[in-house]
Each structure stands twice: as structure tokens, then as C-alpha cells.
């Protein structure tokens, strides 16, 4: 399975930024704020000061590149969860973090406790996204009755949407509205506040070529999850959604792809949706670009988006070659309030075998000058987990940690990371899998 197909099926890029309960915006700003500050109240358990307000951000410098003073390392693999993949991670505080995913026979919910991740839930759901707007409210989404190592959940008979909620003490099931078609999968979830959340995914009637896929979304209003209207982003073709990202009530994005059938098969092209005055609108991406890594024109799909304001966002994902060719390369884009443009500073991220292939599957920003993207890049013997950092203007390659399991001759070894969460700029977690040992993979940056 190609990197792009894996990410599209996995819905692997929920953007989950830490914040204090009751803030007008769950996410800290990606860049220094340029708008009038809003009054915030906090739950005392949510790392807030005695006055009940969020703590002042750690000093940062736009010229001093904060992430380069830290290195990522493999923190943990979970041998007891053989065959498992962690798809998403989210933190409300440094001590309230969850990671979700699934395996061949069960779903996965991991909880961080005393610096170690422990599996606390194995049920019949495969979970793709998690977000934590407060210490007493986290949401996880996915599908059930469709577990399998292929992750092709929404093409399995009987698959239905799953929504789970953490109340500060335990996880419980929440009734999800029916999907638009007989088979459904929620791929991503994010919240603008504890009472304003969105979940997105795709649904079909079982067509093996994905031509009948249709994207769908649910909105949480503080009481219930309700199906919400979307434009026909696929222009009549099959289409799906793999990402939802919200900064504030009316500052949300979704991303995915639509399918075009031809004599050579079904090809995917990117789509972006923006929430404008309460309604979702299709936003056209940049024109096709030529990349030296892929040797030809490409299209771009985003798997992570973060916004400082309505006029300033960054997105990460992968360039994909035009139909008829294969290969992916790392991609990054900038939103200026009117259109998306390609960020030419994006590196080849490790490019250990000279092909330039790879993809960003997750992104997080702990402060204005401390942002991370994670994904996979080719290595000698298989692909390896890779990272890049962003200082508000440019992307910089970071040295990837060694593979979780050493490659051996003949191995089809693959490590990749799907999601990143940072409670603060000096404490970050990334999750994915190592298929050499077929175990969930957890990496850490910090002490």
C-alpha cells in the first residue's frame, strides 16, 4: 500500500493542540496573535494559574529556532498489541493524553500515565481520530464491525460510525447519527470549544473502486451530534474526508480527496473545505506544480492544517504524481485568507535513498516558533519515521531517530507516524506503527 493510500484510508492527521478548559479557542495560536484578546476561564485541573487564567506562554524567539534544541526518540513500542497501528494522539495537558487506533482483532485506546503509555481499552471499534478540548472532555471517532490489518474499514460490510467520549473518568459510547450510505467511517474529529466540535469521514455502499464514496460530517452542539450539510465537493465523483481542524467557532477546515475514474483506474485529487458563516465551502488548492523529487507535475493532499487567524494558516501533506505514475513527496502550503500557495521551503525530510518520496501525516504547533510535522520517508530497507520543524516561515529537516526495530536484509520494514500532540513546546508525542515488529510506535521529544 502506498504512503498516500495508507494516509487517505487512515484519516491520520487530526490536529490536536493543548489548551485550557473554557477558552474561547481550544487551540493556542499558531503565530503571535494579531486580533483582540478574548477573556478565558479555566478548569483548575487544566494547568492554569491560581487566578483561573491560562498560564503565560513560554518565551519564544522567532529568530531562535526552538525545536532544534530537542531530539525525537523512540519512547515505546507495544509488543502486547501485535498488529496494531496508532492513528491519532491528543493532549489536554501534559498529564492528560490519549492515543487511539486499532489492530487486526480490536480497537486501541492508550492513556499516558507517569510517562508511560498503557492500553486501557480493547473493543470492537477501530478508532482514527481523537481530540481533547479539556481534561474532562475528549472525543474519539472511527468505525466498528470492520477491523482488519488493511485499515480499509469503510469498505467492509456492516461498518458504521463510532463516537466515544471521555468524561474525565472513563470512556463511553455516544450515539452517532446514521451515515449517508450503508457503510460509514469517521476519520477525524476536532473541537473549537468543549461545546462546538466537528467530525468528518466517508461513506459508501460497498463499491470496490471507491467510486461511490461520499464525504460526510457531524456537528456537536454541546448536547448532541447532528448530521450537517456539505457541498458536493466531488463534483459528482466519489469523494472522502480525512481531516477536520478547528481553531475557533468559525475557523475550521476539512480536507480530503475526490475520485476520478478512467481507463487506467480510479485516481484521487485533493479537496479542501472551509467553514464560512456556518456553512462549508469548497476552496480550490494551488495549481499543479512540478517537483524535482517526483520528476513531473503533481497534486497536493493535506493531512494537517493549523491556523493563527482566518488569514493565516499552514497545511502539510503529500504531493502525488499525476494519474499514470506513482510516488509521493512531502508537501507544505500557506493560506493567506484568499488562497493556498505551495511553501517552497519544504525539505525532502531525510531522503535516505535519493528518491525524495515521503508524506506528512500529522502536524502540531506548541507555540509561534515551535511547530512539527511527522510522517514517513524511505530508508535503506524500508521507510522510516521522519520529522520537520516550522518556525513560522520555513521548514527545517530534523534528524530522525533510528528505526524502532533494526532493518535486516530482505526486510520489507516500515515505520511511519500518523499524528503529533504537544502539551507544550518542550514536550511532544508522535504515534504510528513499526511493521517490522507489527506493533504500535510511540516517539517523544522532551525530557
Cα–Cα distance between 90 and 98 in angstroms, integer? 6
Q: Other CB atoms closer than 10 Å to residue 218's CB: what's the count?
A: 23
Would you say residue 285 lies in a domain?
A: yes
Cα–Cα distance between 251 and 416 in angstroms, integer? 29
Higher per-residue confidence, 313 vs 381: 313
DSSP string, 338-351: S-EEE-TT---TT-
Would you say residue 382 lies in a domain?
A: yes
**What percent of the chain is predicted at pLDDT more than 70?**
65
**Is the pLDDT confidence value at 67 over 50?**
no
Mean pLDDT in residue range 403-424? 73
Contact in structure between 408 and 381 (CB atoms under 8 Å): yes
- Bridge partner list, 367: 370
List, for residues 367-409, the tens digit of each pLDDT value: 656 678 999 876 666 677 888 888 888 887 776 677 776 655 4
Indicate which CATH number applies to the domain containing 161.
Answer: 2.130.10.10
Low-confidence winner among 45-54, 317-326, 357-366 (lowest mean pLDDT): 45-54
Mean pLDDT in residue range 162-182? 94
List, for residues 5-57, the tens digit of each pLDDT value: 333 334 333 333 333 322 223 333 333 332 222 222 233 333 333 333 333 33
Would you say residue 5 lies in a domain?
A: no
Question: Which pLDDT score, from 0 to 100, does residue 379 have?
Answer: 65
Mean pLDDT over each residue of the chain, to the nearest integer: 74
List, for residues 434-446, the tens digit of each pLDDT value: 876 678 999 998 8
Higher per-residue confidence, 70 vs 172: 172
Would you say residue 297 lies in a domain?
A: yes
Mean pLDDT in residue range 129-150? 82
Question: Which pLDDT score, from 0 to 100, does residue 151 have?
Answer: 43
Please report, for residues 234, 242, 249, 320, 417, the alpha-carbon distance to residue 270 in angstroms, rounded to integers and kept in the order given.
10, 11, 24, 10, 21
Q: Provide the number of structural domains found in the chain.
A: 1
Contact in structure between 302 and 317 (CB atoms under 8 Å): yes
Q: Which are the contacts of 56, defined by CB distance < 8 A and separation ≥ 6?
A: none
Question: Which pLDDT score, from 0 to 100, does residue 211 have?
Answer: 72
Would you say residue 3 lies in a domain?
A: no
pLDDT band at 418 (very low <50, low <70, confident <90, very high): very high
Mean pLDDT in residue range 102-128? 87
Cα–Cα distance between 341 and 29 in angstroms, integer? 21
Please report, for residues 30, 83, 438, the alpha-carbon distance to residue 80 in angstroms, rounded to integers and kept in the order given.
37, 9, 10
Would you say residue 148 lies in a domain?
A: yes
Question: Which pLDDT score, from 0 to 100, does residue 415 have?
Answer: 83
Question: Which pLDDT score, from 0 to 100, does residue 62 have?
Answer: 28
pLDDT band at 322 (very low <50, low <70, confident <90, very high): low
Q: For the chain, give the longest Cα–Cα distance.
A: 65
Higher per-residue confidence, 348 vs 194: 194
Question: Which pLDDT score, from 0 to 100, does residue 313 have?
Answer: 85
Would you say residue 48 lies in a domain?
A: no
pLDDT band at 285 (very low <50, low <70, confident <90, very high): confident
Nearest 5°: CA angle at 198, between 174 and 116? Answer: 70
Would you say residue 109 lies in a domain?
A: yes
Supply the range of the domain harboring residue 288.
Answer: 17-31+63-446
Cα–Cα distance between 222 and 211 in angstroms, integer? 35
Mean pLDDT in residue range 282-303? 72
Alpha helices in 351-447 (DSSP H): none
Amino acid at each position: 500500500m502506498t504512503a498516500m493510500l495508507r494516509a487517505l484510508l487512515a484519516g491520520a492527521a487530526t490536529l490536536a493542540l493543548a489548551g485550557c478548559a473554557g477558552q474561547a479557542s481550544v487551540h493556542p495560536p499558531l503565530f503571535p496573535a494579531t486580533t483582540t484578546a478574548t477573556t478565558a476561564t479555566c478548569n483548575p485541573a487544566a494547568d492554569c494559574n491560581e487566578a483561573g487564567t491560562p498560564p503565560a506562554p513560554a518565551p519564544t524567539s522567532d529568530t531562535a529556532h526552538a525545536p532544534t534544541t530537542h531530539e525525537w526518540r523512540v519512547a515505546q513500542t507495544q509488543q502486547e498489541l501485535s498488529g496494531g497501528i496508532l492513528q491519532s494522539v491528543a493532549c489536554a495537558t501534559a498529564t492528560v493524553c490519549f492515543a487511539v487506533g486499532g489492530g487486526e482483532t480490536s480497537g486501541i485506546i492508550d492513556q499516558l500515565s507517569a510517562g508511560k503509555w498503557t492500553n486501557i481499552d480493547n473493543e470492537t471499534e477501530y478508532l482514527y481520530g481523537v481530540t481533547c478540548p479539556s481534561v474532562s472532555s475528549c472525543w474519539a471517532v472511527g468505525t466498528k464491525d470492520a477491523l482488519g490489518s488493511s485499515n480499509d474499514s469503510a469498505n467492509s460490510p456492516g461498518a458504521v460510525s463510532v463516537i466515544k467520549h471521555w468524561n474525565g473518568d472513563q470512556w463511553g459510547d455516544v450515539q452517532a447519527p446514521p451515515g449517508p450510505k450503508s457503510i460509514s467511517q469517521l476519520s477525524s474529529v476536532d473541537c473549537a470549544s468543549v461545546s462546538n466540535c466537528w467530525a468528518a469521514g466517508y461513506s459508501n455502499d460497498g463499491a470496490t473502486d471507491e467510486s461511490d464514496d461520499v464525504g460526510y460530517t457531524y456537528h456537536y452542539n454541546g448536547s448532541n451530534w447532528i448530521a450537517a450539510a456539505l457541498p458536493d465537493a466531488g463534483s459528482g465523483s466519489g469523494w472522502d474526508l480525512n481531516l477536520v481542524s478547528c481553531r475557533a467557532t468559525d475557523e475550521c477546515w476539512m480536507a480530503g480527496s475526490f475520485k476520478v475514474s478512467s481507463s487506467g483506474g480510479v485516481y484521487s485529487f485533493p479537496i479542501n473545505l472551509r467553514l464560512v458563516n456556518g456553512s462549508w465551502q469548497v476552496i480550490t488548492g494551488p495549481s499543479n506544480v512540478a517537483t524535482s523529487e517526483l520528476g513531473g507535475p503533481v497534486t497536493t493532499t493535506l493531512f494537517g492544517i493549523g491556523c493563527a487567524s482566518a488569514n493565516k494558516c499552514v497545511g502539510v501533506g503529500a504531493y502525488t504524481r499525476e494519474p499514470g505514475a506513482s510516488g509521493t513527496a512531502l508537501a507544505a502550503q500557506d493560506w493567506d485568507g484568499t488562497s493556498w500557495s505551495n511553501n517552497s521551503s519544504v525539505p525532502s525530510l531525510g531522503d535516505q535513498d535519493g528518491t525524495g518520496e515521503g508524506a506528512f501525516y500529522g502536524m502540531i504547533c506548541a507555540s509561534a516558533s515551535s511547530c512539527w510535522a511527522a510522517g514517513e520517508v524511505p530508508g535503506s530497507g524500508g521507510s522510516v519515521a521522519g520529522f520537520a520543524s516550522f518556525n513560522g516561515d520555513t521548514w527545517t529537516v530534523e534528524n530522525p531517530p533510528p528505526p524502532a526495530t533494526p532493518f535486516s536484509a530482505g526486510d520489507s520494514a516500515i515505520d511511519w507516524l500518523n499524528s503529533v500532540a504537544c502539551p507544550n513546546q518542550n514536550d511532544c508525542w508522535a504515534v504510528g506503527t513499526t511493521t517490522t515488529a507489527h506493533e504500535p510506535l510511540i516517539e517523544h521529544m522532551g525530557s
